[in-house]
């Protein structure tokens, strides 16, 4: 049975549940026009917009039924880092597990390991920790680090699929036009592991822990 990976979620919507008119509508808008359902909202400010061109949150495998029609199988594979922010579930779980606090204070993209600089220059950060979770209660400051890594994909551009989606009349779902696949090797061993090899030993010497979210699958919104 012929299969390819295509859109799993589009702007937070389960692509497999969208009717043809909604597929056309979403595939024709700019990401700057669409709200991101996963990024946290700030009090008194408008809902944050999608910051990923095309608005694809995840990929999903499809089998071919007709020439241009496909059927979704399996579970979505997370490709956008913002997908991990859904309902703050990851932060709550890590906070409760490591800090005994389901709603810790969150500090994002904290500079890590400053490089040496000339006397007149400010030192530059060698890297950043995605999130620091803090339990501010008690006399001793308790915190842990959280590193998140979405999955990259290898293969042809999603724009090939969007050309079909923008005029899709049905029936059913459009079958992906070109080959692509989730690249777990590049995302995990090549991208995430080198970061952990640098950050974990240092954080451990400080007597702290690091949690890692490298989720192969995520559930549709």
Out of 73-82, 158-167, 200-209, pick the least confident.
Answer: 200-209
User: Residue 138: is its pLDDT beyond 50?
Assistant: yes
User: Residue 120: is its pLDDT beyond 70?
Assistant: no
User: Residue 213: is its pLDDT beyond 90?
Assistant: no
Question: Which of 188, 209, 200 has the alpha carbon at shortest distance from 135?
Answer: 209
Residue 44's domain comprises 3-213
Q: pLDDT band at 203, cuts 50/70/90?
A: confident
Q: How many domains does the chain have?
A: 1
Can you give the pLDDT at residue 101?
A: 92
Quick check: is 220 in a domain? Answer: no
Can you give the pLDDT at residue 67?
A: 83
Q: Is the dihedral of CA 155, 156, 158, 160 positive or negative?
A: negative
Alpha-carbon distances of 135 from 61, 72, 138, rounded to whole Å? 40, 42, 8
Higher local confidence (pLDDT), 101 or 116: 101
Quick check: is 221 in a domain? Answer: no
Can you give the pLDDT at residue 30?
A: 94
Structure tokens at 77: 């594979």
Can you give the pLDDT at residue 84?
A: 87
Structure tokens at 220: 């549709």
Query: How is residue 188 annotated by DSSP?
Result: I
Out of 6-10, 29-33, 63-67, pick the least confident.
Answer: 63-67
Q: pLDDT band at 15, cuts 50/70/90?
A: very high
Quick check: is 218 in a domain? Answer: no
Residue position matching structure tokens 């699929």 = 161
Quick check: is 77 in a domain? Answer: yes
CB 154 within 8 A of CB 181: yes
CB 173 within 8 A of CB 73: no
Quick check: is 22 in a domain? Answer: yes
Alpha-carbon distances of 68 from 6, 58, 139, 161, rounded to whole Å? 13, 21, 63, 11
Higher local confidence (pLDDT), 53 or 118: 53
CB 45 within 8 A of CB 53: no
Q: pLDDT band at 160, cuts 50/70/90?
A: very high
CB 24 within 8 A of CB 166: yes
User: Residue 133: is its pLDDT beyond 50?
Assistant: yes
């Amino acid at each position: 049975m012929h299969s390819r990976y295509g859109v799993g979620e589009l702007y937070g919507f389960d692509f497999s549940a969208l009717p043809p008119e909604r597929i056309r509508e979403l595939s024709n808008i700019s990401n700057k026009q669409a709200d991101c359902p996963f990024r946290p909202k700030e009090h008194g400010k408008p809902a944050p917009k999608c910051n990923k061109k095309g608005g694809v949150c995840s990929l999903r495998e499809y089998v071919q039924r007709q020439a241009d029609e496909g059927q979704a199988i399996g579970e979505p594979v997370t490709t956008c880092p913002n997908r991990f922010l859904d309902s703050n579930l990851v932060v709550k779980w890590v906070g409760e597990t490591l800090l005994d606090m389901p709603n810790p204070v969150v500090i994002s993209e904290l500079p890590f390991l400053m490089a040496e600089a000339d006397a007149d220059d400010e030192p530059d950060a060698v890297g950043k920790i995605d999130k620091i979770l803090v339990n501010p209660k008690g006399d001793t400051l308790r915190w842990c680090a959280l590193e998140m890594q979405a999955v990259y994909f290898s293969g042809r551009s999603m724009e090939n699929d969007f050309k079909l989606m923008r005029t899709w009349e049905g029936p059913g779902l459009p079958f992906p036009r070109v080959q692509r696949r989730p690249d777990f090797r590049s995302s995990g061993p090549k991208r995430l592991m080198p970061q952990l090899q640098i950050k974990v030993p240092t954080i451990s010497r400080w007597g702290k822990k690091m949690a890692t979210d490298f989720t192969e699958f995520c559930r549709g919104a």
